Chains A and B, each alone.
Chain A
Amino acid sequence: MDLVEKIKAGDVRSTARLISMVERREPEAVAVIKEIYSQCGKAHIIGITGPPGVGKSCLVSALVGSFRKMGKSVGVLAVDPSSPFSGGALLGDRARMIDLTGDRDVFIRSLASRGAHGGLSSAVNDAADIMDVSGKDIVLIETVGVGQGEIEIARLAHTVILALMPGYGDTLQAMKAGIMEIADIMVVNKSDKPGADQTVAELSSVQNYKCDVEGDHWKVPIVKTQALSKEGVDELAQETVNHYDYYKQRSAIGIKNRERRTTQFLDILTLQIRTEFLETLKNDHSLQKWVKMIGDLELDPYTASEQVVEMIRKSR
């Protein structure tokens, strides 16, 4: 059986190894992605994001349980940060998902961010495609515990869940731009803690509608959950399905997909151009010359950059 067949048949080890190779951008893995690309697009991609410690991993674990009750197979991609110093990482999300082991229809994979910004890993797009082609109905992506500006997940997922908890801040926090605006569904987790209703009230007073499809609005639901006892989690799962159906009924899934693929394409293109240009510079040793002049304040970086681009243009 060839590799693509094996992945479609749900072979765990082949799938896992392909994801590792994609993380290292190995040409052999990229070749497989090229081969499977046309078969993508069947899975519902859900992102879950929010500040560190609100219970994202526990929510993912409970959500997968709810989706399994609906008969859906699930792939989970859990992203944790890499150390900017050593490059190492502690991938601890999985420790919250132990309940899910022993189920052939659940595949969990931890990814380190490996220097990528925006709360994801650069391999996450390809890993989601691999899960999709392997036949998972849902791909659930848990981002790094983010701050207020990490919104990459909104370009990748069909449905974005923003997880918060009681006492996260006041109305002013909720009004800020960035992370609050990307939520298709808001969750107030740990709702047994004091102040949960207050938090729900503050969120609902600020932002209610999103993503208009030709003048039509999706009302952002606010769901109270307790991930550990699974309270409210079935309702949350149902809301994510509702959101996907809302898009499907309006034939708008294609729009979301095109947005995702445009971003992915531009990222790949930028990387390739950058690598190639920097390679050219390194080869004729001029990069160091410019770096030295800029460092000695003999030349400003804007002029240097213009000169480099001009030089590359002429050399073609």
Chain B
Amino acid sequence: MEEKTIRVLMAKIGLDGHDRGALIIVQALKEAGMEVIYTGLKNVPETVAEIALQEDVDVIGISILSGAHLVVVPILMDELKKSDAEDIPVVLGGVLHPDDIPKLKEMGIKEVFPAGSPVENAVECIKKLGMAGDKGMIK
């Protein structure tokens, strides 16, 4: 039996054309030994939830620079809930007002990384969340 490899979905949601930040995180996660599925730009939350399920990821990372986080995050969380997958932890990074951080956490986001956060912090957090989840058969 092999040791657990953490699988992460890195997703861009909404009309947001910049993914340099997301790609830097993707690269860092890969170098930390994780398998990262990247969605590419401009996805709807429903797509992200579907991919997370099919790929059986341990953590979902959302990157948003468009300012639409308070609109799209509740849709994503709702989609995950509908599929009995609200146990998959979701973290978010991007450009946002500090006042939004508690609101996002209220919505169920596990951790928020505003612009300027050190990359290692995100990697550490995702690793910790990824190791913690239950990986057994779905009963």
A292 within 8 A of B: no
Which of A24-32, A43-51, A206-214 binds B?
A: A24-32
Instruction: Give the residues in chain A near B40, CB-CB below 8 Å.
Output: 95-96, 98
Instruction: Give the residues in chain A near B135, CB-CB below 8 Å.
Output: 17, 20-21
A190 within 8 A of B: no
Contact B50 A82 (CB under 8 A): no
Contact B1 A86 (CB under 8 A): no
Instruction: Give the residues in chain A near B53, CB-CB below 8 Å.
Output: 12-13, 16
Least CB distance, B119 to chain A, in whole angstroms: 14
A91 within 8 A of B: yes
Q: Which of B2, B26, B56 sits near A19, CB closer than 8 Å?
A: B56
Given the known A-B contacts A3-B137, A25-B2, are A91 and B50 also in contact in the complex, defined by CB atoms under 8 Å?
A: no
Given the known A-B contacts A27-B1, A83-B30, A102-B46, are A21 and B137 also in contact in the complex, defined by CB atoms under 8 Å?
A: yes
B106 within 8 A of A: no
Contact A88 B138 (CB under 8 A): no
In the bound complex, how far is the Cα of B84 from the Cα of A25, in angstroms? 25
Least CB distance, A12 to chain B, in whole angstroms: 5
Instruction: Give the residues in chain A near B138, CB-CB below 8 Å.
Output: 3, 6, 11, 13-14, 17
B29 within 8 A of A: yes
Which of B31-39, B69-77, B94-102 binds A?
A: B31-39
Instruction: Give the residues in chain A near B129, CB-CB below 8 Å.
Output: none
Contact A88 B31 (CB under 8 A): yes
In the bound complex, how far is the Cα of B35 from the Cα of A101, in angstroms? 21
In the bound complex, how far is the Cα of B55 from the Cα of A83, in angstroms? 19
Instruction: Give the residues in chain A near B30, CB-CB below 8 Å.
Output: 83, 86, 88-90
Contact A107 B54 (CB under 8 A): yes
Nearest neighbor of A18 in chain B, beta-carbon distance: B137
A147 within 8 A of B: no
Which of A108-116, A173-181, A244-252, A296-304 binds B?
A: A108-116
In the bound complex, how far is the Cα of B53 from the Cα of A107, in angstroms? 10
Nearest neighbor of B53 in chain A, beta-carbon distance: A12
Nearest neighbor of B6 in chain A, beta-carbon distance: A88
Contact A13 B56 (CB under 8 A): yes
Least CB distance, A22 to chain B, in whole angstroms: 11
In the bound complex, how far is the Cα of B51 from the Cα of A251, in angstroms? 38
Contact B84 A13 (CB under 8 A): yes
A295 within 8 A of B: no
Residues of B at the A interface (CB closer than 8 Å) are: 1-5, 7, 26-27, 29-40, 43, 46-47, 50-51, 53-56, 83-85, 135-138
Q: List 11 A-B contacts (CB under 8 A).
A: A14-B137, A24-B5, A28-B137, A82-B35, A87-B33, A88-B30, A91-B55, A92-B38, A94-B37, A98-B47, A102-B50
